[in-house]
Structure 1
Amino acid sequence: MELFYFLVFGGLSAVVAALELSKSSKDRINTPSAFNAFKNNYLLVYSLMMAGDWLQGPYVYYLYSQYGFGKGDIGHLFIAGFGSSMLFGTIVGSLADKQGRKRASITYCITYILSCITKHSPQYKVLMVGRILGGIATSLLFSAFESWLVAEHNKRGFEQQWLSITFSKAIFLGNGLVAIVSGLFGNLLVDTLGLGPVSPFDAAACFLAIGMAIIMSSWSENYGDPSENKDLLTQFKGAAVAIASDEKIALLGAIQSLFEGSMYTFVFLWTPALSPNGEDIPHGFIFATFMLSSMLGSSIASRLMAQSSPKVESYMQIVFVISSASLLLPIITSFLIAPSKVKGGSISFSGCILVVGFCAFEACVGIFWPSIMKMRSQYIPEEARSTIMNFFRIPLNIFVCIVLYNVDGFPMTIMFGMCSIFLFVAAILQRRLMTIVESQKSKPQDWTALERSAEEESLNV
């Protein structure tokens, strides 16, 4: 079965290479040098930020276990991270809109570097502080950088369509190539060089520091709402009014929460799904294969978004249906293929089927990220972009905390079935979003009126 892994990885590599090399002029958008320089600067920073994140991921659980903590204690540490992102995410998002997205991006770097430093301590309280800092940093990573990019892109007068180029390239590099290289580099530090499980966190801090230096030297500041008389509560109410008054924004938030909630649940479930009897599977190589699948998805997305048809609202319905079907495979194989009772050994036949299905899901993830970024750039008002984006993450973090707390309480097939249902619901909501967009022609919201309404409500209170 060892040949199986290389066949899947090699096949995906060939497809990705063929897609990238076969792009014609129809699949590419000619852009001026000024935009290319702007895009490349952002891609460099984003790749460094993602390297700092990806280097840590594979070794967090392992490091905690090396410090002698059990599954329950480690679970509480993970819950602290997601809970921190939920509690503080909206606040830091609002501060990013008000105080500046460049400052927020620098804050991300500092916060995550401090989180990395705490990994040197075996004390549980120090590690808990590190998880809280990591949760705050995650909120900034998934809001401040995108908000800065969209605002700066528009401020410089670049074509709206060119945003899709930056989005797709960012996912191709940051969530694909950088993830693969980070995994291999982390493996080199820990296993080959024997520097210990804390070494990837030190390397991550170095990459974050380099990225912060580039941000400080080359980025200009931009804001959502720079008004001095707007406190955080008014900003929250204004963002809530925007979500409640525009069904497109509400649908987008629900779609994002459903998909990302399923995605993060999948992160916890794929390892036991592929090795239910303790099979010996190459976790790092499979992870790299999944990231290669994500690269394939982002390459497909770049082609789709370069065309005038189909619209992103249209093809994302198909993506959600495919992702829903792929996470049904563990349930289907459990009924159709008799489970093996042999402990250990190589991956089973049903496990091979699941690897292929999970690769299809990761390809959908690769399509999802640049596509949802493009829709957010179209429908979320600039004045409170970071605030609203972090509002979207509240139900996601609640869901993931619940899953982590009850991960041993439900059979794995139930968890996969729940995720599949969520993704199918996302497809239905995406259909509704497309219908609204076609009927309303994406009429812009009067943000000034929404802000005035929030202020009047605050005064009445």
Structure 2
Amino acid sequence: MELFYFVVFGALGAVVAALELSKNSKDRINTSSAFNSFKNNYLVVYSLMMAGDWLQGPYVYYLYSTYGFGKGEIGQLFIAGFGSSMLFGTIVGSLADKQGRRRACVTYCITYILSCITKHSPQYKILMVGRVLGGIATSLLFSAFESWLVAEHNKRGFEQQWLSLTFSKAIFLGNGLVAILAGLFGNVLVDSLSLGPVAPFDAAAIFLAIGMAIILSSWTENFGDPSENKDLLTQFRGAAVAIASDEKIALLGAIQSLFEGSMYTFVFLWTPALSPNDEEIPHGFIFATFMLASMLGSSLASRLMARSSPRVESYMQIVFVISSASLTLPIITNFLVAPSKVKGESISFAGCLQLLGFCTFEACVGIFWPSIMKMRSQYIPEEARSTIMNFFRIPLNIFVCIVLYNVDAFPITVMFGMCSIFLLVASILQRRLMAISDKPSNIHSTKSNIYHFSGRSIHLRFSNNIFSGFFSFFIRDGKLDSNEGKGP
């Protein structure tokens, strides 16, 4: 392996270590022993959940190929996973709000374990079922756990600022250290011990089972709005109205979809970008380097969020601009650096430049996750937190499915250019969010910031945020009647 990879990895590791060791009182948040116990319990569970997820990622495509499936069939399996998350994600999110977030977290464990079991079968239909189960599990992973954490944090009366500490540590461990260790552990299982490509999925199931046991034994249940008279359709309607009525929530959803859409597209693009002529690159080591860069970003985020200034809404504008610039490097190098026409060589000079840019992007990803979590905790109402968070994932999953279906239709530079534009738009929307973040929500309610229930009717007031005009509605039995100008 070339010295360049070790230099980049070592430099990132040194920076991360320096950031963590150099934290002073301004970079740390003073907390209580009760909170530390609560935080550590959550971090253990979250790390186990992410270990179960990260162990599978590097070997899904490889496992399908060993079963003899071609690129087209594998692409269909991947689309099924994202499509399942899109179709069922909002449903399971709403059920989590109504039936309980702890129960939803246990459901995530069971669903993902079943998905892992299906990987033992080479039959296409069974593998397709596994992808559908995996898509449902992904929706729960990115909504139920955060919803449980925020609700439980508030229920126990901990300070709101302490949430940012849990968020940053969760990303530092779950999306950084655990990802690196999972990649190395999976490599040992598959290559060193020669247990085959299904071994990481079995290991993932074990970690998920351990995490589920901790949840069952130590977590208490919390709910969004457990009203018995509120059916699933009413929950969807309430969540959709909340997004449409509050510009801050709508902007947050658009920002999240734009960034995550670019991030998931990057996952498919970085390998062909670094090896356009089949250059020999250490995929596992590069993946570990990306995760180390993500740890660097989460370490920076923890420092930023520990202080009152700059605010999250402010510095994220800069993060989006930097991430956009980093993904333009493949386009720039394509014009400025003559491509090599010799196949099978080591990474090119253009590839080295792109790798540095990709590490910068991953650092931005590390800043993004805890920062978006903090903003969601501030702006998304508790009653429909999981439902709204999964609403945000609908455009994301549609976008990823389209990209997967057309991945060979456009040059790689066009794909990177599209992601760069999306990130610039996210920066513009973030600037708008910053401008209105101090304004109170105009959604009128006697119970929460979303809706007020009275029998089977929901009174909703729309303000002039995204949509022009000012009007009020009564929704009765699914029918919409205008009552402009009337009070609640």
TM-score per shorter chain, which class? Answer: over 0.9
Match of 1:453?
459
1:338-372 CA distance string (max 9 Å, x none) = 11100011000000000000000000000000000
* TM-score normalized with structure 2 length: 0.93
The one-letter code sitting in structure 2 at the alignment partner of 1:459 is D
Which structure 2 residues correspond to residues 391-402 of structure 1 after superposition, within 5 A?
Answer: 391-402=391-402
Contact between 1:234 and 1:458, CA under 8 Å: does it hold in 2? no
Which structure 2 residues correspond to residues 337-376 of structure 1 after superposition, within 5 A?
Answer: 337-376=337-376
CA spacing shift, 1:46–1:445, aligned 2, 3 Å: farther
1:6-62 CA distance string (max 9 Å, x none) = 000000000000000000011001111000000000000000000000000000000
- Measured in 2, the distance between the counterparts of 1:226 and 1:394 equals 24
Which structure 2 residues correspond to residues 32-431 of structure 1 after superposition, within 5 A?
Answer: 32-431=32-431
- Measured in 1, the distance between the counterparts of 2:478 and 2:345 equals 68
Contact between 2:245 and 2:443, CA under 8 Å: does it hold in 1? no
1:99-130 CA distance string (max 9 Å, x none) = 00000000000000000000000000000000
Contact between 2:443 and 2:449, CA under 8 Å: does it hold in 1? no
Shift of 1:460: 5.3
CA spacing shift, 1:330–1:213, aligned 2, 3 Å: same
- Measured in 1, the distance between the counterparts of 2:238 and 2:18 equals 47
Shift of 1:333: 0.3
Structure with the larger RCO, 1 or 2 (CA within 8 Å, 6+ apart): 1
The one-letter code sitting in structure 2 at the alignment partner of 1:450 is Y
Shift of 1:285: 0.1
CA spacing shift, 1:195–1:460, aligned 2, 3 Å: closer
The one-letter code sitting in structure 1 at the alignment partner of 2:113 is I
Partner SS for 1:457: strand
* TM-score normalized with structure 1 length: 0.98
- Measured in 1, the distance between the counterparts of 2:164 and 2:208 equals 25
- Measured in 2, the distance between the counterparts of 1:458 and 1:231 equals 13
Shift of 1:453: 2.6
1:216-263 CA distance string (max 9 Å, x none) = 000000000110000000000000111111000000000000000000
Contact between 2:98 and 2:223, CA under 8 Å: does it hold in 1? yes
Shift of 1:437: 1.1
- Measured in 1, the distance between the counterparts of 2:23 and 2:166 equals 16
Shift of 1:441: 5.3
- Measured in 2, the distance between the counterparts of 1:333 and 1:80 equals 35
Shift of 1:459: 2.0
| Structure 2, gaps ≥5 residues long | 453-457, 461-472, 480-488
Shift of 1:403: 0.1
Partner SS for 1:160: coil
- Measured in 1, the distance between the counterparts of 2:273 and 2:286 equals 13
- Measured in 2, the distance between the counterparts of 1:240 and 1:441 equals 19
- Measured in 2, the distance between the counterparts of 1:109 and 1:340 equals 47
- Measured in 1, the distance between the counterparts of 2:444 and 2:5 equals 50
Partner SS for 1:453: strand
- Measured in 2, the distance between the counterparts of 1:121 and 1:193 equals 21
1:122-158 CA distance string (max 9 Å, x none) = 0000000000000000000000000000000000000
Match of 1:31?
31
- Measured in 1, the distance between the counterparts of 2:449 and 2:5 equals 55
Task: Give the greater-gyration-radius structure (CA).
Answer: 2
The one-letter code sitting in structure 2 at the alignment partner of 1:220 is T
Contact between 1:143 and 1:389, CA under 8 Å: does it hold in 2? yes
- Measured in 2, the distance between the counterparts of 1:263 and 1:242 equals 26
Contact between 1:94 and 1:236, CA under 8 Å: does it hold in 2? yes
Contact between 1:257 and 1:396, CA under 8 Å: does it hold in 2? yes
Match of 1:3?
3
- Measured in 2, the distance between the counterparts of 1:241 and 1:401 equals 26
- Measured in 2, the distance between the counterparts of 1:325 and 1:10 equals 24
Contact between 2:293 and 2:363, CA under 8 Å: does it hold in 1? yes
Contact between 1:293 and 1:362, CA under 8 Å: does it hold in 2? yes
Contact between 1:246 and 1:445, CA under 8 Å: does it hold in 2? no
Shift of 1:448: 6.4
Contact between 1:326 and 1:361, CA under 8 Å: does it hold in 2? yes
- Measured in 2, the distance between the counterparts of 1:418 and 1:458 equals 42
Contact between 1:12 and 1:293, CA under 8 Å: does it hold in 2? yes
Contact between 2:50 and 2:174, CA under 8 Å: does it hold in 1? yes
- Measured in 2, the distance between the counterparts of 1:414 and 1:272 equals 13
The one-letter code sitting in structure 2 at the alignment partner of 1:240 is A
Report the identity percentage: 84
The one-letter code sitting in structure 2 at the alignment partner of 1:64 is Y
- Measured in 2, the distance between the counterparts of 1:265 and 1:80 equals 16
The one-letter code sitting in structure 1 at the alignment partner of 2:409 is G
Match of 1:435?
435
Shift of 1:214: 0.1
- Measured in 2, the distance between the counterparts of 1:69 and 1:41 equals 41
Shift of 1:457: 1.3
CA spacing shift, 1:282–1:460, aligned 2, 3 Å: closer
The one-letter code sitting in structure 2 at the alignment partner of 1:453 is H
Shift of 1:458: 3.9
